[in-house]
C-alpha cells in the first residue's frame, strides 16, 4: 500500500475522544488525581484491518502544544506506516488544531522509534534520566519535539 493510500485511510478514521480540560477534571473522583485532557486518536488501517494506534494527547489550546504517542503492530514495522501515521497526526495538530509544538517521550535505547521520529521531523531536546521502569530496570527517555516553524508540510 502506498504512503498516500495509508494516509487517506488514516485520516478517514480520525476519532475525537474527549474530556474537556478542567471541566472534565471536576467530574473525576479526587483519588484519581489526573486531569482528563483532550485526546485525538487515530487507527491506521491496511485493507480494512487496524494495524495500530496513535494519538495526540495533552492537547493544550492555551499554550498550543500537545504530545504524540504511537504503536504499530510488529508485522507492519519498517513499511512506512509509522512515518505516515506520525506525519498525519503532526499535520493535523498544526493545520487543524493550531498547535505550535508537538512533543513526545521515547525510550533512549529504542533506536527504531528514535530514528523513525527523527525521520518524521522530530528533534531531540533532552534526556530524562531513569524515567521509565522497563523490563526490570530504569531506562532514560529522550524528549523530542517538532515545532510549527520547522514543520515542512507534505506535498
Ligand atoms: C516506532 C514505530 C512507530 C516506527 O514505525 P515503523 O512503521 O516501523 O517505521 P517506518 O517504517 O515508518 O519508518 C522507518 C524509519 O525509521 C527509522 N529506523 C527504523 N529502524 C531504525 C533503527 N534501528 N535505527 C535508526 N533508525 C531506524 C529509519 O529512519 C527508517 O527509515 P528508512 O527505512 O528510510 O531508513 C514502530 O516501530 C512501533 O510501533 N514500535 C513499537 C511501539 C513504539 O516503540 N512506539 C514508540 C514509543 S514512544
Tens of pLDDT, residues 34-67: 344 678 999 999 999 999 999 999 999 999 999 9
pLDDT tens digits for range 75-97: 999 999 999 999 999 999 999 99
pLDDT at position 142 is 98
pLDDT tens digits for range 113-142: 999 999 999 999 999 999 999 999 999 999
Farthest-apart Cα atoms in the chain, separation: 47
Which of 116, 118, 122, 135 for a ligand 1 pocket mutation test, highest count of atoms within 8 Å of Cβ? 116
The total of other beta-carbon atoms located within 10 Å of residue 95's CB is 12
91 sits in which H/E element: helix 81-95
Residues with CB under 6 Å of ligand 1 are 70-72, 77-83, 104, 106, 110-113, 115-116, 119
Closest by Cα among 121, 118, 113 to 141: 113
* Number of domains composing the chain: 1
- Three cell numbers written together for 49: 484491518
Q: What is the rounded distance in angstroms from the CA atom of residue 63 to the CA atom of residue 102?
A: 11
Which domain does 68 fall in, by range?
A: 3-150
Is 128 part of any domain? Answer: yes
Phi, psi values for residue 108, rounded to 5°: -65, -30
Measured by CA distance, the residue closest to atom 16 of ligand 1 is 116
- Three cell numbers written together for 128: 530524562
Is 18 part of any domain? Answer: yes
State the CATH number of the domain containing residue 138.
Answer: 3.40.630.30
Q: What is the rounded distance in angstroms from the CA atom of residue 87 to the CA atom of residue 108?
A: 21
Is 43 part of any domain? Answer: yes
Is 155 part of any domain? Answer: no
Measured by CA distance, the residue closest to atom 31 of ligand 1 is 116
Is 84 part of any domain? Answer: yes
pTM greater than the 0.85 cutoff: no
Amino acid at each position: 500500500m502506498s504512503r498516500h493510500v495509508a494516509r487517506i485511510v488514516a485520516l478517514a478514521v480520525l476519532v475525537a475522544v474527549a474530556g474537556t480540560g478542567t471541566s472534565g477534571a471536576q467530574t473525576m473522583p479526587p483519588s484519581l488525581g489526573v486531569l482528563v485532557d483532550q485526546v485525538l486518536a487515530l487507527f491506521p488501517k491496511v485493507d480494512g484491518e487496524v494495524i495500530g494506534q496513535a494519538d495526540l494527547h495533552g492537547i493544550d489550546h492555551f499554550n498550543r502544544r500537545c504530545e504524540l504517542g504511537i504503536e504499530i503492530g510488529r508485522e507492519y514495522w519498517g513499511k512506512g506506516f509509522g512515518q505516515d501515521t506520525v506525519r498525519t497526526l503532526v499535520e493535523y495538530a498544526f493545520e487543524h488544531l493550531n498547535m505550535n509544538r508537538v512533543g513526545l517521550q521515547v525510550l533512549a535505547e529504542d533506536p527504531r522509534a528514535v530514528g523513525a521520529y527523527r525521520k518524521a521531523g522530530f528533534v531531540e531536546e533532552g534526556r530524562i534520566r531513569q524515567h521509565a521502569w522497563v523490563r526490570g530496570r530504569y531506562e532514560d527517555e529522550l524528549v523530542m519535539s517538532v515545532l510549527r516553524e520547522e514543520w515542512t508540510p507534505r506535498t
